[in-house]
Amino acid sequence: MANKKKKLLQGNGACVEGAIYSGMTFYAGYPITPSTEIAEGCARLLPKMGGRFIQMEDEIASIAAIIGASVTGRKALTGTSGPGYSLMQESIGYAYMTETPIVIINVQRGGPSTGLPTKVGQADTMQARWGTHGDYNAIAIAPSTVGECLTETIRAFNLAERFRTPVTVLLDEVMGHMREIIEVPEKGDHEVFNRVKPTASHEEFEAFEMTENLVSPMASYGDGYRYNVTGLTHDTRGFSTNRTDESIQKLDKLFYKIENYKDEIFKSRVELVEDADVVFISYGTVSRAALQAMQIARKAGAKVGSIQLYTIWPFDYDMIKKATANCKTVVVAEMNMGQICHEVKKVLDPSKKLETVQRYDGEIITPMELLEKLEEVL
């Protein structure tokens, strides 16, 4: 294999590279620490390839602009952090309802409110699932290396385009700012999925038709398929409805188009769980510490395994159940006061002990802390 081009990049920069690799040509955003390098990278790179960058007046405007851009057929991105992600929630709901593919990168910091802007946190994990009002199904993914920031951003765009839905990439301050040398992929190295376009005649076209996989082909504004897009509950033609049967059909469509294909959305890294007494469960930056702690413990003769979640939502309950079947203790490590540990608890066999390592002081969880926890539970 020929030597790949290498680059020293921050996580935020790798997300930009991944988005551009995916064919993203539209970015709208608002400056916020620790995500701003994503906007700056897009401002610099997009015009060079004919793309468009705009700094909007706030995060609400930013996400509205990318939804507008997506409706015209462009792949569109925004990047933000906690306060901005909160402001975007109503519009994320609009994107769910209108089935508009967009990608949001949330570089998490300490919260609530302004919190710890320059420090690390993972406390928006539940917000990525339940942030906007109403019923819907969410996709959120979390990389743990700079290289994965690139590849997971590509995956985020593929999922957004395939399922016509917003996708959140959950980074954290450390992930966004850490620099690593990564391989720059060439064309063809990664699959790039583009939204399915309609083939129906203009007369027969239904913008939100019920298809076998529940994802309707998406026409772009200007293509000649003139149709209505609304945040109101709507029928298959996009017209608002109060009918109970049509309301159920719409909400089921939003939920099951993801639920029915969740096996293809799940992604995790499961290591050495077969004989493990203790299994770590983690995601994002914390997974680096968990893997290292596992290796150190194994060298010392302790039977430790690790589950790293790349796909946070939808949550892979079956995998957790299976991968923890042989262990005695599960240690969920996350940089919040306990979010994913509650999902784990839902499926964990009552005979197993559930332990947690949590930090919400703006500092990362270290391998040392996890090893200390191991000493306590082993």
Contact assessment for residue 368 and residue 159, using Cβ atoms and an 8 Å cutoff: no
| The binder of other proteins chosen from 15, 28, 293, 357 (CB under 8 A) | 28
Under the binding rule (CB under 8 A), the answer on residue 49 touching other proteins is yes
The 3-state DSSP class for residue 231 equals coil
Q: How far is the CB of 113 from other proteins (least distance, A)?
A: 20
Under the binding rule (CB under 8 A), the answer on residue 213 touching other proteins is: no
Of 60 and 251, the one with the shorter C-beta distance to other proteins is: 60
DSSP states of 85-111 = HHHHHHHHHHHHHHT--EEEEEEE-B-
Q: Does 344 bind other proteins (CB under 8 A)?
A: no
Q: Which residues of 253-266 are buried (b: 16+ CB within 10 A; e: fewer)?
A: bbeebbeebbeebe
H or E stretch including 307? strand 304-309
Binding mask 238-257 for other proteins (x = CB under 8 A): -xx-----------------
Rounded distance between C-alpha atoms, residue 22 and residue 217, angstroms: 19
Q: Which residue's entry shows tokens 């996009």?
A: 238
Among 65-73, 136-144, 158-166, 312-320, the segment contacting other proteins (CB under 8 A): 65-73
Contact between 32 and other proteins (CB under 8 A)? Answer: no
**Nearer Cβ to other proteins, position 226 or 353?**
226
Asked if 72 interacts with other proteins (CB under 8 A), we say yes
Q: Nearest distance from residue 97's CB to other proteins, in Å?
A: 10
The residue among 24 and 289 lying less far from other proteins, judged by its C-beta, is: 24
The residue among 21 and 26 lying less far from other proteins, judged by its C-beta, is 26
**Among residues 1, 2, 3, 50, the one that binds other proteins under rule CB under 8 A:** 50
Binding flag, residue 19, other proteins (CB under 8 A): no
Question: What's the N-to-C CA distance of the chain in angstroms?
Answer: 44
Give the contacts of 87 (CB within 8 A, at least 6 positions apart): 58, 59, 60
Q: Which two tokens stand for residue 101?
A: 């593919």
Burial of 32 (0-12, 13-18, 19+ CB in 10 A): buried
Stretch of 11-19, 32-40, 64-72, 173-181 lying at the interface with other proteins (CB under 8 A):
64-72
Nearer to other proteins, 3 or 244 (CB): 244
Does the N-terminal peptide bond of residue 112 adopt cis geometry, omega within 30 degrees of 0?
yes
CB of 45 to other proteins, least distance (A): 9
Task: Annotate each residue in 218-237 with x if it binds other proteins (CB under 8 A) or - if it does not, as one string.
Answer: --xxxxx-xxxxxxx----x
Judged by CB under 8 A, which of 18, 29, 34, 73 binds other proteins?
Answer: 73
Residues 6+ apart with CB under 8 A from 337: 123, 358, 360
Q: Using CA atoms, how far apart are residues 254 and 251, in angstroms rounded to an integer?
A: 5
23 binds other proteins (CB under 8 A): no
CA–CA distance, 73 with 221 (Å, rounded to integer) = 7
Shortest Å distance, C-beta 345 to other proteins: 36
Q: Which parts of this chain interact with other proteins (CB under 8 A)? A: 26, 28, 47-50, 52, 54, 56-58, 60-62, 64-74, 76, 90-91, 94, 220-224, 226-232, 237, 239-240
